[in-house]
Structure 1
């Protein structure tokens, strides 16, 4: 299908489903059923089996119509959906993908554990066979959206007697099960967008397993690669996102400008533009294949740049940056970097180098899987610059 034919299909859809008179949820369901949710997905699963880059044609034609609030359901869209598509059964895809895309069902990710740190393969949460299902016991941590989620993607140990990477299995967990308890984790921002989740004999039918028993590590890699692209490779216009916010702060505070701050802003603007262009290239690569370790580089660069920009913004505005609106415990359903005050952005950006894979782990992935270095030549982040060869 050509871009012009796709545009015509989108216009015909709008004519038959006028968002001005149709209920928002009915509109989103109709868009999914018409194959205009994600055009690169198969027919019948919200797509048309087309090239991924044609999605921009749909977004342009349907601009201004109700969307599915992607920031609120980002885990479902960016992590769960690609994994379900790659490893789910036909029944799982039919049952889970439509309400995921429309936002009727929010998803969360149960991977990290208090005792495993960044070593995901050391997960200790146990899933034990019980008839035609599994009983799961353990604890997960740093779980975004767990307090609003209906479903979770879960990595659990099903065989403790084999090497750690081989003893894991991947499940879809119903968060309304009585064996699931969600507790808030208050952050430096004062909010609790993250949670810890306690599982006590939580029940999962075997029909909600993704992939084969013991193949959870391979399934999880699909999730993780898509997660890092979702965090670090989102499409943004020139001077969009954090660099746009900081640039506007600079323009609106002429009395705060110094040559040193100006040089730093220009340097970060160039880095932001380079990262934006790298993101375009990465999405072009995705159009012809699956995400690879390059997504780790994008996420690593995004985290560092976000922290540098938020720090520069606070320096530009001086004492204004020390203000904070409210330390009351809140449990937001999404993160809003650009819509909040500078103090929030500065504090929240500290978590960018932890969530979605710590920067230290990502450097090792880049060293081994992008640069092709042997495992013993991993990047040592503690080495001093003075000790490096000249």
Structure 2
């Protein structure tokens, strides 16, 4: 991949940067800078939603979508530029990632014309938000072990009303479901063929969350946020035609979606990482720990490694098309996940080393400023939050162990890991 910028690329970067600077400087949006993100997705949800709709009204959502689906049809390199400039501007983190970056492209690749017509416009306009119903208590990284079940009741209604093609009736539990508490829809992997095991007999269903058969329970984290949820399905229903890719073909659709997950927006998080690293360096200078040769060497290594990670991510993106399976590009997606997750955990550990004893202390939370239960009885500083949340980086989105198995088995052709061993 040619990493040089063309004149057109430079002009596009200037356009994006100018637009963001102008609009984030206004009184309506200036107070939202930096809000949201990992461990902080509970912050200013309604205000960030309004900002996302403001972006949509000016054509700055779904920028990589083809123009026939309402996007800008930007090239890969232009998408990288947009997401890097967005992160560099310290704009509030979006609330539409799962719809825009994951479900939308999946529907373009696997959905029916009717499904695309129904769901893509509300995603583009940020009118409907999506959650991801993959992980379960017994099927986290091992997605093929899904136990949530769905059965088809023919003739019970469907999207056409009474007497239509029927409905899927869903029973089971999902966990670690990001943002389900403020989303309207969830895409669910469910077992639709009785007696099926592992990858067979799974279907990819689109399910409304606002119904009697769905219960969402937020999971409070050490960082004070509750973006993760448990979701219980007890006779929940969705129309028969809201199965993507066809019944029993959910595994292929699910893997295609995961191929979109590690796209340009994930690469752009390296800009946020550079900002976090700079704040740790500033703290080291302020408290004198930068004079420790070990600390100084550790921070310098993190800076060099981050530059390498960005280059490696760009190279991987150039080798993989959206929706490719995990072996594409020599396992580029898995390699990128491994390197950035490990780096970010090491940054959190370095932040605590720099903080010293101050990293063990918290401030009392201001309980009078919010409703009871809306925040913990303590406040974390940015580096404590970084340390605590980054412990999960090597687990969510596919654990390190799973990524290494993918590389070993699907890329290198090594024997599969024995099942049922300890």
TM-score by length of 1: 0.79
Contact 1:111 1:155 in 2 (8 A): yes
Q: Provide the residue aligned with 2:362 in structure 1.
A: 324
CA offsets per residue over residues 199-254 of structure 1, 9 Å max, x none? Answer: 01101102221111000000000122222447853354497243333233333332
Match of 1:46 among 57, 70, 79: 70
Paired residues, what number? 364
Q: Output aligned runs, 1:292-311, within 5 Å.
A: 292=328, 293-311=331-349
CA distance in 2, matches of 1:341, 1:25: 24
CA 1:351–1:202 in structure 2 vs 1: closer, same or farther (change >3 Å)?
same
Structure 1 residue 285 displacement after superposition:
3.1
122-131 vs 267-276, which moves further: 267-276
Q: Provide the residue aligned with 2:409 in structure 1.
A: 368
CA 1:251–1:5 in structure 2 vs 1: closer, same or farther (change >3 Å)?
closer
CA distance in 2, matches of 1:77, 1:273: 27
Q: Provide the residue aligned with 2:186 in structure 1.
A: 152
Q: Provide the residue aligned with 1:142 in structure 2.
A: 176
106-115 vs 289-298, which moves further: 289-298
CA 1:249–1:81 in structure 2 vs 1: closer, same or farther (change >3 Å)?
farther
Structure 1 residue 347 displacement after superposition:
1.0
Contact 2:69 2:120 in 1 (8 A): yes
Is 1:99 aligned to residue 122 of structure 2?
A: yes
- Structure 2's unaligned 5+ residue stretches are 1-5, 29-49, 155-165, 368-372
Match of 1:187 among 206, 221, 225: 221
Q: Provide the residue aligned with 1:386 in structure 2.
A: none
Determine helix, strand or coil for the equivalent of 2:199: helix
Q: Provide the residue aligned with 2:112 in structure 1.
A: 89
- Structure 1's unaligned 5+ residue stretches are 333-338, 383-390
CA offsets per residue over residues 28-54 of structure 1, 9 Å max, x none? Answer: 44444xxx6445423331235553333
Q: Provide the residue aligned with 1:108 in structure 2.
A: 131
Match of 1:121 among 119, 124, 144: 144
Q: Provide the residue aligned with 2:153 in structure 1.
A: 130
Match of 1:274 among 286, 308, 311: 308
Contact 1:231 1:299 in 2 (8 A): no
Contact 1:324 1:341 in 2 (8 A): no
Q: Provide the residue aligned with 2:391 in structure 1.
A: 350
Q: Provide the residue aligned with 1:388 in structure 2.
A: none
CA distance in 2, matches of 1:315, 1:274: 23
Contact 1:166 1:217 in 2 (8 A): yes
Is 1:234 aligned to residue 258 of structure 2?
A: no
Contact 1:39 1:52 in 2 (8 A): no
Contact 1:243 1:272 in 2 (8 A): no
Q: Output aligned runs, 1:10-21, within 5 Å.
A: none
CA distance in 2, matches of 1:157, 1:56: 36
Contact 1:139 1:198 in 2 (8 A): yes
Contact 1:246 1:313 in 2 (8 A): yes
Determine helix, strand or coil for the equivalent of 1:177: coil
Determine helix, strand or coil for the equivalent of 1:248: helix
CA distance in 2, matches of 1:341, 1:60: 21
CA 1:277–1:107 in structure 2 vs 1: closer, same or farther (change >3 Å)?
same
275-284 vs 290-299, which moves further: 290-299
CA offsets per residue over residues 159-191 of structure 1, 9 Å max, x none? Answer: 132342111000111111211100121223243
Contact 2:84 2:271 in 1 (8 A): no
Q: Output aligned runs, 1:373-388, within 5 Å.
A: 373-376=414-417
Determine helix, strand or coil for the equivalent of 1:375: coil
Contact 1:29 1:98 in 2 (8 A): no
CA distance in 2, matches of 1:223, 1:165: 15
CA distance in 2, matches of 1:86, 1:278: 26
